[in-house]
Amino acid sequence: MQVVHAGRHRLIQLEFEPEILSGIAKQAGFDCKLEDSERVLGLELKAPSRPGPLLLFDAADPANLGWFSRCQFYVDGQTGAVLQTPISVANLKDRAGRVQPNALRVQLAKELPANFRLPGRNPVTEQTIYAVLLSFLNALASTGVGVCGGTIVKPLAGRSEGPGMRN
């Protein structure tokens, strides 16, 4: 971790270890493909042996109230940002353009404002981000992650169609 000065701005520059990230993904039950770029580190995560979809659900649907009360992570459905973390997510699609229920693209920001804090006012280090990522991946597999509003990130579990009449 380094503190970088860009004019009058100060940024935290995180230096992630790809081997550690791959190990975290494997520990949570995911196959992982890493894509490193200048400002973000991307992980393409797949759980091919998982019997059902990842537990990414629509938090606004009343049918998902039980999941909503248990989850500790929420995704802004308009931007894909995992709230109060430097993580963002996006759906992975197959060749036909359908959302894959057992796969997700995750990005970790490498540059953060110097005053960025995790919940509980915890300072940001690579180790704290590794811990948050492991908790997030375990939540996708067991307790659930809520998608709040928006149409960019599609839920993978729960009711897939909107409420209303069926033909």
The whole domain housing 118 covers 2-148
Return the bridge partners of 89, or none. 106
The amino acid at residue 93 is: K
Determine, yes or no, domain membership for 163: no
Q: What is d(CA 12, CA 32) in angstroms, rounded to the nearest whole number?
A: 25
Determine, yes or no, domain membership for 97: yes
Determine, yes or no, domain membership for 103: yes
DSSP three-state, residue 83? coil
Determine, yes or no, domain membership for 167: no
Determine, yes or no, domain membership for 33: yes
Domain count, the chain: 1
User: Among the residues of the chain, which ranges form H helices?
Assistant: 18-27, 65-70, 126-138
Determine, yes or no, domain membership for 53: yes
Determine, yes or no, domain membership for 126: yes
DSSP three-state, residue 8? coil
Determine, yes or no, domain membership for 153: no
DSSP three-state, residue 54? coil
**Who has greater pLDDT, 163 or 78?**
78
pLDDT at residue number 113: 92
pLDDT digits (tens, 9 = 90+) for 27-71: 999 999 999 999 999 999 999 888 889 989 888 777 766 666 678
pLDDT digits (tens, 9 = 90+) for 63-107: 766 666 678 899 999 999 999 999 999 999 999 999 999 999 999
